[in-house]
Structure 1
Amino acid sequence: MTLSTAIAAALASGTVLAQDNGQTANATPTTASNSTTQKGDSNAKNGKSVKSLDQVVVTGSASNAGVRKIDASYQITTATAAQIQQTNPRSAADLLKLSPGVWPESTGGETGANVEIAGFPGGGDAPFYTNQIMGTPLYGMPSLSFFEQSSMFRLDDTIDHVELLQGGPSVVFGDGQIGLTSNYILKQGTDTPSGDIGVTYGTEDLRRIDGFYGFPIGQNTGWYGSVGGFYRDSNGVRNPQYAADKGGQLTATLTKDWDNGSLVFWARGLDDKNQFITPIPLIQDRSGMFSAYPGFNPLTGTYYSSAMQHTYLESYPGGGTNVNLADGRGAQLGFFGVNFDWDFGNGWTVSDKFLVDGGNMDTNALFSGSNPQTLSSWENTGGTYPSGTVPTGAVFNASYINGGGTINNPNLDVISQGLWHIHKNLHSMINDFRISRDLFEGNTLTAGLYLAHYTDDDRWSLGNPMLMTNTPNATPIQVSYVQNGQTYYVTNNKGLIFNGGYNITENGVADNKAFYLSDTWNVGQWIFDASTRVENENARNTVCNLSNVNIDGNANTLYDNSVAMCNGTYSVTDYNKTHTSWTLGATYKLQDDMSLYVRANKGAHFNSFDDMRGNTTGNTPPLLKIQNFQIGYKYTADWLSTDLSFYHRQFNGLSYQPSILGVPIDPGQYSTYGSDTKGLNFTVRATTPDQMFSIAASGDWMDGHYSHFDGDAVFYGLPTSDNPTGEFVSTYEGKQLQRQPKFQVRIMPSLHFTMPHGDLLLWTTMEYVGQHTQDQLALQQLGSYTDFSIGAQYTYNKHWVFTLLGSNVTDELGLTESNSRIAGNATGASGVLLARTLEGHEYNFQVKYQF
């Protein structure tokens, strides 16, 4: 049955089963304020505690009716809209840390986060994360270069709650994600019109307005509507001298309810621009210990400035383009989705989820290059000159751009940063249809068909190193030299040393088809489920071939004399793989509020368009496969909820491509290796009988390392006096999984006071992130850190809500990553390291009226 026929059937007859989406979370305290809840929500009790594991969740369940969390043979975390606010996430990616073992490196700004999941060897981007709205993935592929799915999404008051699922049955349902899936359920209209409007001001000059309104359409028609969104403007904690974050989002829903069914239309428009924060300089005092670089505040500093905001890139494919860094790494996207659920009676149910979306997700940002040095040292490196050596008898001239004056200080601290521009146009259409039949009492069989068609049209201009002062809000520098009476221009008038390093067009188109079967059987105190998925990925990627050209034809402008540009020919890579995934689970109910569960699954991660690029021989990286085993314990009571899960995760198919200075020795040839991880995820929440005090904790301990890496490999890091080429030989075997903390925990105690005219809620969150390493050789250790945030919320007469939030209130200097373009130890002379750190303290205050 197609989506259109399903809608026709719904409109013609008049029976559907509405989803029951509970709201109570086990990760954060219950709010004292009212919140707009979805129809059918029987779990939400404003200001009251409930047994959080009694909540019904739909993510990972074969049935559209969902499953109680305590009955699910997997670990799933949920959070309401109010609890999301209390978490005070820096971005949509930062919220994912509510799921134990998930560590989002969200220090890069609102978008472009790296999402690490314990035991999943990602090492950057977010290949093992899928973002869903109303149960449908936002794009047909988890991530691409300069794109991950949390960047397509912004948090606001239109969210009812979120469900976060790691692995388990997700390897079979939806897009077959083997890692983490977040599923955001939208608020919808209710019989009683209700909503809110809020205004927020933050210490980073944040100005934001939020709103939501849900309402019935007509009298007793069964139709409901809602509309809501936000708009904000902020300079950011790291002020770039223009708006760091600027834009908004608008979401609407239209719902029809019948006695046995529901139909939901939803639409969303997103137009937002965000600063992509570049690593800043630090001093590594010793391994894992860091301090501020002279003149650069690591908590508030940024290289971005108004002086470099506007630049013209000659090397951009198609004839050059103007780049405005204020456009940042943003999103201009449109979404339209339909959810349909139908109960035919006699044990037959149907569910269909459809989503079409598309738009631009461009990147305009600085990317780290080499470590800082003096101006005279940079002039005498020889790396920017055609001969590779410093011209004999050259007399250098350096000045600030835009007539800023001559530089007479040869010891001026300078750095080169890549000014990258990527135009990315994405489109995706996904439909997930499933039909269920109760075969006999306690047994339900579900069959599903998942179809996705998606495209990616890119234009890249990478490299573009820009010389600038090594200071906050840096000023670009232009350099020339005179030799034998002739002037040679080392940079252009914007400080660009080289116009582009990798300037390509990329056009990808793919179809994903999957058929899945799932059977669930309740037998006494046992609940069993078994599911399998057969999936095919068929993709084609077309990339232009490059030839070196002198863009302006002038031999004296050294910055554009040999630039790799598209030459009118193309390389095409075809990719067609089929794989079968499966999962088995069992829950044993010790009693109604206590259960044990076990689960095993095996899934696969298909290649992305970027994995295919340049592999015209068909020797693309191998299919990445995982087998995952879990055993867990759940208990829920009025005063305590806990979910403990021990896991063992094994990967194979990780690929290593031998290369010299980044150039593959044998293109298309890969060596494979794997990883092996054992760990424990935990979530616990306890409250006093009077509910005045509660405490929530979640976290993960893991022991993960790379395995069966055969032989040694050659790597190139920073040159040293003892190793001038930077070359060394090593192996991944037995090394700690990169960018994954061995231990992490988040603890949130809260106090709730009932007052004559309202309620007061106070809380704080302590987040500890343990030892973690930047690189696969575990040479660049990033240490550990402890971060504190605070919150206070007062609800007056159930209508007025006043909320104060503070993040990193102790100004902790914590590192999430260092220079990812340097293998091994990334610390240069005098212990200088380019790295991303936590932002300094930030406070914001919101006044909201609820009605």
Structure 2
Amino acid sequence: MRYKKFIRYTLSAAIAAALAPVYAQAQEATDTAPSSDQAATTLDAVVVSGSAVRGGVKKLEASYNIVRASEEQIKMANPKSTADLLKISPGLWPESTGGQTGANIEIAGFPGGGDAPYFSTLLMGSPLYGMPTLSFFETTSMFRLDDTVGSTEILQGGPSVVFADGQIGATANFFLKTGSDTPYGSVGLTYGDEGLLRLDAFSGFKVADGWYGSVGGFWRSSDGVRDPQFKADEGGQLTATLSHDFADDKGNLTLYARYLNDKNQFITPIPLVQTGTDSFRAYPGFDPLKDTYYSKAIQHVHLPSYGGVAGGVDADLADGRGADMIFVGGNFDYDLGNGWSISDKFLFDEGDMDTSALFSGNNPASLNDMLYTAGVPGGFALPAGTATATYVGGGDVALDQSVIQQGWWHIHKHLKSFNNDFRLSKELFDGNTLTIGLYVNHYTMDDKWSLGNQMLMTNEPNARPIMVTYDDGGTTYYRTDSQGFADFSGFHIAEHGSATNTALYLSDSWRVGKWLLDLSGRIENQDATNNVCNLDNVDLDGDPTTLYDNAVPVCNGTYAKTDYDKTHPSFSAGANYSFNDHMSMYGRVNTGGHFLDFDNGIRGSTTGNTPPMQKIRNYEIGFKYQSKLLYADISAYRRKFTGLQYQPTNGLGTPTGDVQVYGSDSFGVNFIGAVTPTDNLRIQLVANYLDGEYTDYDACFPYTDINGVDQCAAIDGEQLQRQPKIRAMLTPSYRFDFAWGDITPYITYTHVGDHTQDQSGLQELGSYHTLDFGITSNVGYNWSFALRGTNVTNELGLTESNSRIFGSAASSGGVLLARPLEGREINFQAKYSW
């Protein structure tokens, strides 16, 4: 409770302090901060991500795929989370069915399949962490959208392999609002029908001549669409900036700090019934749009298996997959004269990114089958009629009760990162600028895991845990503990990783008439060390009758150390030709590499025997056009991968078998466009087409199927997992103008095409379409109102099935565990701005 009060009180005090000078000048200030909404939708908009040129380049001249969104455009997208915002960029598909955090982020043509290995989140141009993803972590999980964010630039491929963290996939660069000569700001209150109550506030102001400050943030509490019987999302964020403009437009200094403390439910797959390739329906007793297994009855547990900690740990499902992080950073840009300029960006962040959540195991069965029937996956196969099953807290459980085992996993992850990006530029001659840069990022990870921990519970919404004992030969055996845990085996480790990435890059930009050419190269070294505790199987309590903890892997005091030292070059070359001030065409080729991370490739390997590095070759052409009627930005690409890895795991999350290495080849088209027949009517389309498949693997992947049978699946030629061939969002909007203000209603129709769960292509997830809406209104100079809704037609659509089951995940009767979209969610916001 203390952290919630701290967030509320700190935010309230900061807002009050910030608003004091504003209210004193309220009679004089009638305009809001300068708006870039119009510029953001034109080719005249300036983008800085992916460019080494001081001040950036016009979007018309950017020879790469980049989408810029202003604050208002971010809100119009109605994102359910930071990751969900990425849907505004064609080819990016965030799976937001897991909750506010922990999204899987797919990029067309990049064979991800889980987490976000090919995506990086940047704040003011600085990466939030040295690796884009780790087990139980992706970078959008440590970033929240609020009114302190002024705009974002989402860049795919191209020059991103050279700048910042050298991401080969996509980056989203978020820019904070700062103060101005004229004070401006806003206070907003949002209510949602899922029990959401949220306060947002921001104030930007002048501190002294040439110095400006800002402060803002949010606090919210929500029961969630899938109500777990405790707060699904609760917490807040506080952000402040201090900026200084140097005389004679020589440059700018911006310092910023942010504190985030937010807890979010990590949504577990629920049972559904599959009746065909593209047909799914509700499982009896489960509403797929709003139900969850989470409940007060299973909220608090003690895990004796917690990695490296004697006595275990108490864990709370309400902690979810949240963040408790601090961020301190700064940007410095200065014109030295005579064509010389320097730029430096730095960011330090540290904190906890923990996970407490249920993870799916085997499909449900009746209690009778779970207790007595041989061959039932996850079943006990006890002697007939010997068991006693009771609810934790009292009451017998009927033998026909549907039950399931779920893994109650707890992961403590402490992250720390410091990065600095220094650039020195020189205009060699008119139109030609050469930039040399040095990027350094030192980062660490301290983890303690407790995976497995199979809890027997009712297969129903807001589940209840079940205890089981049985008698055999006059001896009572405890098949579960008093909390309902049937098995504490699994993967329980303590892990420490430390790494430094150092990169030197060179970029030359040359304007020749209507051509803008660039050639950039980067050489990067990753020097990483990972230490993972070695495990011994131990009977935790020394009692052979307590079967749930007789063979628990625990840290034995020794560690396996793996060193990883890899250097890899990347390059990018682009050419843009501007036919005139509203039409251009470009081409680009780039190569890059994806370093191994602590959990994927380094852990489980020995020094000198780590898997090969993933490498990409990307070819892209694009065309941009804008007139009063039409806006169009279209690009076509080919993306070829080598060095992809597959690591089999069992249902408890334990790695099994050898790492398999393969590749992929993809062709696709990304499109974003808008038609504006009148000043008030706008119809926008964001769409992509992908033809991508796995290559370079003539054998088959070994795996254990849903029934526990060893199988082998061929993957060569299969569609890239989790990626639809077609995705499109169509948004018509119309603004009605009145003497007192305006009203703009809009709807967004989204179509997601056929997609599959994993590399085998054996588990189809079908296709779906959704309908979202919004109505925004500005009243006078100060007031604005917004009513927004998502999935208003309650579409049943799937983004993934049980990720711990390879191949077909459906068992008898077509039952499978999967993550469907959340049902209808509507919220209303009232905001006062000055």
| TM-score interval, smaller chain | over 0.9
- Counterparts of 1:66-215 in structure 2, within 5 Å, are 66-215=56-205
Q: CA shift at 1:483, angstroms?
A: 1.8
Partner amino acid, structure 1, of 2:233: D
Aligned to 1:524: 513
CA contact (8 A) 2:491 2:654 kept: no
Partner amino acid, structure 1, of 2:544: A
Partner amino acid, structure 2, of 1:506: E
CA contact (8 A) 1:167 1:179 kept: yes
Match of 2:271 among 281, 306, 329: 281
Partner amino acid, structure 2, of 1:346: N
CA contact (8 A) 1:51 1:636 kept: no
Task: Quickly say closer, same or farther: Cα 1:739–1:666, change in 2 above 3 A.
Answer: closer
CA contact (8 A) 1:37 1:160 kept: no
Task: Quickly say closer, same or farther: Cα 1:321–1:666, change in 2 above 3 A.
Answer: closer
Q: CA shift at 1:756, angstroms?
A: 1.3
Aligned to 1:474: 463
CA contact (8 A) 2:481 2:548 kept: yes
CA contact (8 A) 1:534 1:579 kept: yes
Q: Secondary structure at the match of 2:487?
A: coil
Match of 2:797 among 805, 814, 824: 814
**Deviation sequence 1:330-350 (CA, Å, 0-9, x none):** 000000001000001111111
Aligned to 2:756: 773
CA contact (8 A) 1:361 1:425 kept: yes
**Deviation sequence 1:94-151 (CA, Å, 0-9, x none):** 0011110111111000000000000000110100000001000000110000000000
Q: Equivalents in 1 of 2:655, 2:315: separation in Å?
A: 31
User: Cα RMSD between the aligned structures?
Assistant: 1.8
- Counterparts of 1:533-682 in structure 2, within 5 Å, are 533-610=522-599, 611-656=601-646, 670-682=659-671
CA contact (8 A) 1:461 1:500 kept: no
Does residue 850 of the first structure (1) align with residue 813 of the second (2)? no
Match of 1:694 among 682, 694, 699: 682
Aligned to 1:376: 368
Task: Quickly say closer, same or farther: Cα 1:433–1:381, change in 2 above 3 A.
Answer: farther
Q: Secondary structure at the match of 1:492?
A: coil
Task: Quickly say closer, same or farther: Cα 1:472–1:503, change in 2 above 3 A.
Answer: same
**Deviation sequence 1:36-88 (CA, Å, 0-9, x none):** 546xx7x555xxx7761110000001123101001010110011111111111
Task: Quickly say closer, same or farther: Cα 1:469–1:166, change in 2 above 3 A.
Answer: same
Q: Secondary structure at the match of 1:822?
A: coil
TM superposition score normalised by structure 1: 0.92
Does residue 55 of the first structure (1) align with residue 84 of the second (2)? no
Unaligned runs of 5+ in 2: 1-29
Question: Is the deviation greater in 200-209 or in 388-397?
Answer: 388-397
Match of 1:443 among 420, 432, 436: 432
CA contact (8 A) 2:649 2:804 kept: no
CA contact (8 A) 1:393 1:483 kept: no
Q: Equivalents in 1 of 2:359, 2:383: separation in Å?
A: 32
Aligned to 1:225: 213
Aligned to 2:772: 789
Q: CA shift at 1:302, angstroms?
A: 0.2
Q: CA shift at 1:35, angstroms?
A: 9.1
Aligned to 1:4: none
Q: Percent identity?
A: 55
Match of 1:367 among 342, 359, 364: 359
Q: Secondary structure at the match of 1:95?
A: helix
Partner amino acid, structure 1, of 2:70: T
Match of 2:236 among 248, 253, 263: 248
Does residue 718 of the first structure (1) align with residue 706 of the second (2)? yes
- Counterparts of 1:5-24 in structure 2, within 5 Å, are none
TM superposition score normalised by structure 2: 0.94
Aligned to 1:9: none
**Deviation sequence 1:804-835 (CA, Å, 0-9, x none):** 00000000000000001111110011100100
Aligned to 1:322: 314
Question: Is the deviation greater in 84-93 or in 394-403?
Answer: 394-403
Does residue 268 of the first structure (1) align with residue 285 of the second (2)? no
**Deviation sequence 1:592-614 (CA, Å, 0-9, x none):** 21111000000000000012112
**Deviation sequence 1:692-744 (CA, Å, 0-9, x none):** 1001111100100001113233222122xxxxx52333321000000000000
Q: Equivalents in 2 of 1:491, 1:672: separation in Å?
A: 40
Q: Equivalents in 2 of 1:170, 1:36: separation in Å?
A: 34
Q: Equivalents in 2 of 1:655, 1:803: separation in Å?
A: 46
Paired residues in the alignment total 799
Does residue 829 of the first structure (1) align with residue 812 of the second (2)? yes
Partner amino acid, structure 2, of 1:537: Q
Q: Secondary structure at the match of 1:784?
A: strand
Partner amino acid, structure 1, of 2:79: P
CA contact (8 A) 1:683 1:699 kept: yes
Aligned to 2:8: none
Q: Secondary structure at the match of 1:301?
A: coil
Task: Quickly say closer, same or farther: Cα 1:534–1:37, change in 2 above 3 A.
Answer: farther
Q: CA shift at 1:618, angstroms?
A: 2.7
CA contact (8 A) 1:654 1:673 kept: yes
Aligned to 1:3: none
Q: Equivalents in 1 of 2:259, 2:801: separation in Å?
A: 34
Q: CA shift at 1:798, angstroms?
A: 2.0
Q: Secondary structure at the match of 1:107?
A: coil
Q: Equivalents in 2 of 1:562, 1:753: separation in Å?
A: 68
Question: Is the deviation greater in 608-617 or in 738-747?
Answer: 608-617
Q: Secondary structure at the match of 1:612?
A: coil
Partner amino acid, structure 1, of 2:347: L
Q: Equivalents in 2 of 1:653, 1:624: separation in Å?
A: 4
Task: Quickly say closer, same or farther: Cα 1:666–1:698, change in 2 above 3 A.
Answer: closer
Q: CA shift at 1:287, angstroms?
A: 1.5
CA contact (8 A) 2:362 2:377 kept: no
Q: Secondary structure at the match of 1:357?
A: strand
Match of 2:284 among 294, 298, 302: 294
Q: Equivalents in 2 of 1:383, 1:277: separation in Å?
A: 29
CA contact (8 A) 2:343 2:424 kept: yes
Partner amino acid, structure 2, of 1:707: T
Unaligned runs of 5+ in 1: 1-33, 720-724
CA contact (8 A) 1:167 1:178 kept: yes
Q: Secondary structure at the match of 1:604?
A: strand
